[in-house]
């Protein structure tokens, strides 16, 4: 006796199914129970296949994402250094480098202007060793004005 269900395209071989159930479980089922069992088994297989497909895709995505996070065996220290800065790492390194260069240029410019300031203080100290009056002090300052950062080049 072969039956076709509305959910299946292939016919159900009731005799073969009855024999398989009897050999596996030692139970005899009637035709209606066997057809219901076949339908439920078919539906369960479809559900499991769909779930297995979704799980396989998710597993592939997880494996693909792990490859980008794996440690570089040749340069693990540099990789850790780059990951430590996060997504703004390159911009942060460039900004720090530019600020360092600008600071060095600023300090270098200050060092070039420093000798004029030192010379003025040396002359002032030498000129004020003796007790000076206010008039002599003003004369000295008019003759040798203190160099400002703006006037020293």
Q: What is the 3-state secondary structure (H, E, C) of the chain?
A: CEECCCCCCCCEEHHHHHHHHHHHHCCCCCHHHHHHHHHHHHHHHHHHHHHHHHHHHHHHHHHHHHHHHCCCCCCHHHHHHHHHHHHHHHHHHHHHHHHHHHHHHHHHHHHHHHHHHHHHHHHHHHHCCCCCCHHHHHHHHHHCCCCCCCCCC
The residue with tokens 């035709």 is 31
Residue 44 has pLDDT above 90, yes or no: yes
- pLDDT given at position 79: 74
Spatial CB neighbours of 31, under 8 Å, sequence gap ≥ 6: 1, 3, 14, 18
Segment 17-39 mean pLDDT: 90
Report the distance separating Cα 33 and Cα 17, nearest Å. 11
Residue 153 has pLDDT above 50, yes or no: no
Of 118, 123, 128, the closest CA to residue 152 belongs to: 118
Residue 123 has pLDDT above 80, yes or no: no
CA distances from 77 to 45, 84, 93, 118, 127 (A): 49, 10, 16, 47, 61
Residue 11 has pLDDT above 70, yes or no: yes
Tokens of residue 94, six digits: 């460039």
Tens digit of each residue's pLDDT (9 = 90 or more) over 70-105: 666 777 777 777 777 777 777 888 999 999 999 999
- pLDDT given at position 132: 64
Segment 38-45 mean pLDDT: 93
Identify the weakest region by mean pLDDT among 4-13, 23-32, 39-48, 74-83.
4-13
């Amino acid at each position: 006796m072969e039956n076709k269900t509305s959910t299946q395209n292939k016919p159900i071989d009731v005799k073969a199914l009855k024999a398989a159930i009897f050999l596996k479980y030692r139970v005899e089922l009637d035709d209606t129970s066997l057809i219901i069992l076949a339908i439920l088994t078919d539906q369960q297989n479809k559900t499991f296949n769909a779930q297995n497909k979704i799980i396989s895709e998710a597993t592939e995505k997880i494996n693909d994402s792990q490859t980008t996070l794996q440690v570089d065996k040749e340069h693990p220290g540099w990789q850790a250094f780059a990951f430590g800065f996060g997504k703004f790492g390159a911009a942060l390194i460039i900004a720090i480098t530019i600020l360092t260069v600008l600071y060095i240029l600023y300090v270098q410019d200050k060092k070039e202007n420093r000798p004029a300031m030192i010379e003025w203080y040396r002359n002032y100290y030498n000129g004020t060793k003796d007790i000076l009056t206010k008039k002599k002090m003003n004369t000295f300052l008019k003759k040798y004005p203190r160099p400002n950062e703006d006037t020293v080049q």
